Structure 1
Amino acid sequence: MENLIELDHKLFLYLNNLGSETWDWMWIGISDKWMAIPLYALLLFLLFKKFGWKYSLATMVCIALLITCTDQMSNVFKDFFMRARPCRQDGITEFARIVAERCGKYGFYSAHASSTFAVAVFLGSVFKKRIPKMIWYLLIWAAIVAYSRVYLGVHYPADILIGALFGILYGYLLYLFQQYLVKRFHLVKK
């Protein structure tokens, strides 16, 4: 386990130090949850346009459950494992580029990675027949958001990887639940 942790620290320092002050503003923006509002608005528009309001409403309820689940489960893990974030760990902070303005206490696992990958898998699955390539665009977006957390100095790569894996799992499970609701309540697609 110690070897994995050391490897995680080294990989963090390598990836984090690839950054440059020139691009800090961009990565801060990418990591900011409010910057994703235009993307979410576009996805919401496409959802209503492609599927109608009943299907879309059920899908929105599932997305709300999904975000709540990913966020709360990451908090449970953070409180259980109590793994210090890189921006708070002696021996790391001195060698890292800490760009984030705020740094929480614990970082295992990343809620940003979990929620963005969950939404990507969930909506990618919802749109798979209507817009087949959407899942790939959403997964690329999720990976960029996840990397921004390493760039900013608030998460180790393992925090991101585990968060992404949990997000993929939650996204797929909620998609199965959404499909159950669609069939159970006859929420016919357009």
Structure 2
Amino acid sequence: MSFIDAIIQADEQLLIYLNHFGSEAYDAFWLAITKPLNWIPLFLFWLFLLIKNFTWKQGLFLFLFICIMAGLSDVLVNVFKHTFERPRPCWQVGVMEQIRILQCSRSFSFVSGHATTSMAVTTFMYLLFKDKFKWTVLFYIYPLLFAYSRIYMGKHYPVDIICGYALGILEAVLYLKLAKYLVGKWFTKNI
């Protein structure tokens, strides 16, 4: 067995283990968690933090910048998905028979868009506010719940999530540098 085959096999076994924590009693909760629209209160809170802690123009600029980052993140995720073409666990013979499946889609699995984008946005906000508020580490509850919902549903493997997290962190660091540069260039007060 090759190293890659061993990783894939371990990934499948970990998915089966984590997915089995599910039960019908929790399905409605995880179905709600997985929908981005249900996170609008968090996004509005972040918009409030941006406007409250910077000038309103800077805050609005940063919020729009984050939205653009999220959109570009989705494009990058789709490049990964179509490059690697890893089937979702809910379509993978040998796996789909062993997991609970709440939702499935025909798109590919690697990397998780939910994990990538939620981690990119969260890390961007964390890095922006970590020196202002000690509690910003709590922002990470969002990508942890959001991404686990994908395992719960049977839509992603753990490696899809972990690699999505890594990609999201990298995106956040790079985009924050760009945002700071643009704010310094276009506004009178730096962030």
Both proteins in one fold, TM over 0.5: yes
User: How many angstroms apart in 2 are the aligned matches of 1:11 and 1:29?
Assistant: 23
Instruction: From the superposition, tell whether residues 67 and 174 of structure 1 become closer, same or farther in structure 2 (CA, over 3 Å).
Output: same
Counterpart of 1:92 in structure 2 is: 95
Alignment of 1:71-82 (within 5 A): 71-82=74-85
**Structure 1 gaps, min length 5:** none
> How many residue pairs end up in the alignment?
188
Q: CA RMSD in A?
A: 1.4
Counterpart of 1:176 in structure 2 is: 177
User: How many angstroms apart in 1 are the aligned matches of 2:86 and 2:157?
Assistant: 10
> Which of these residues, 132, 135, 145, is aligned with residue 133 of structure 1?
135
Alignment of 1:6-155 (within 5 A): 6-100=9-103, 102-134=104-136, 136-155=137-156
Q: Shift of the alpha carbon at 1:189?
A: 6.1
- Do 1:11 and 1:157's aligned partners in 2 also have CA atoms closer than 8 Å? yes
- Do 1:50 and 1:130's aligned partners in 2 also have CA atoms closer than 8 Å? no
**Structure 2 gaps, min length 5:** none
Instruction: Give percent identity, aligned residues only.
Output: 37
When normalised by structure 2's length, the TM-score is 0.93
User: How many angstroms apart in 2 are the aligned matches of 1:182 and 1:189?
Assistant: 6
By relative contact order (CA 8 Å, sep 6+), the higher-ranking structure is 1
- The one-letter code matched in structure 1 to 2:62 is T
- Do 1:113 and 1:142's aligned partners in 2 also have CA atoms closer than 8 Å? yes
- The one-letter code matched in structure 2 to 1:35 is N
